[in-house]
Amino acid sequence: MINIIVAIAANNAIGKDNRLLWHISEDLKYFRRITLGHTVAMGRKTFESIGKPLPNRRNIVISRTLPPQDGAEVYTSITEALPHIQTGEDVFIIGGGVVYREALPLAQKLYVTQVGKAYEADTFFPEIKTAEWREISREDFPCGEQFPHPFSFVVYERK
Ligand SMILES: NC(=O)c1ccc[n+]([C@@H]2O[C@H](COP(=O)([O-])OP(=O)(O)OC[C@H]3O[C@@H](n4cnc5c(N)ncnc54)[C@H](OP(=O)(O)O)[C@@H]3O)[C@@H](O)[C@H]2O)c1
């Protein structure tokens, strides 16, 4: 099954200058808990911004320019990667903007961290249309241990 996991600001912003816009340690722990033991797929720029393959996960990178990598499989598109996914394998698309846009029509579930603040950005997540997605769980937090704004972990399933 194809899942998307993403943290989205109030204005749909997700990144700037190939970096995340915030540091929410609770969200990093949530990301790890949800993706651990599964497959993660990402664009070349997100792979470069993380800097190394994510441990204890099968790593797939989408790129037309990246040479073969230790610890990550490189495919030239999501469509080229799909035949290499086993039946029953959970794939988490972990960004960035280009890959989210391509994967959204293919995804069955969205794990969205809603960040309750708008940010100046150069990368945005596409609109999550309520006609297409049903919210199936939500956890709201007034702030993080070191993050002063509200955020929520929301899971959507395709209708
Ligand atoms: N908030 C979040 O949850 C979150 C999560 C992840 C990333 N981000 C942010 O998102 C930003 C990066 O996103 P981005 O949109 O700039 O880049 P990206 O999606 O990470 O990577 C784009 C690159 O992926 C490759 N690619 C993507 N689709 C392809 C396709 N169909 N065919 C061939 N290659 C394809 C291309 O690489 P080549 O040029 O090598 O061909 C393309 O340049 C950063 O700011 C990052 O911090 C945010």
Asked if residue 43 has a cis previous peptide bond (ω within 30° of 0), the answer is no
- Cβ atoms of 138 and 152 closer than 8 Å: yes
65: Cβ below 6 Å to ligand 1?
yes
* Model pLDDT, residue 138: 98
* Model pLDDT, residue 41: 98
- pLDDT tens digits, 95-148: 999 999 999 999 999 999 999 999 999 999 999 999 999 999 999 999 999 999
Angle at 82 between CA 80 and CA 88, to 5 degrees: 165
Read off the pLDDT of each residue in 143-156 and give the average, rounded to a whole number: 98
- pLDDT tens digits, 8-45: 999 999 999 999 999 999 999 999 999 999 999 999 99
Residue spans of beta strands (DSSP E) within 71-125: 73-75, 91-93, 109-115, 123-124
Ligand 1 center to residue 134 CA distance, Å? 26
Confidence of residue 77 (pLDDT cuts 50, 70, 90): very high
Ligand 1 center to residue 43 CA distance, Å? 4
Read off the pLDDT of each residue in 65-70 and give the average, rounded to a whole number: 95
Substitution site in 44, 113, 115, 124 for ligand 1 pocket (most atoms within 8 Å of beta carbon)? 44
d(Cα 102, Cα 63) in Å, to the nearest integer? Answer: 13
- Residue 100 parent element (H or E): helix 97-103
Ligand 1 center to residue 142 CA distance, Å? 30
Ligand 1 center to residue 69 CA distance, Å? 17
CA-nearest residue, atom 36 of ligand 1: 63
Domains, the chain: 2-158 (3.40.430.10)
* Model pLDDT, residue 100: 98
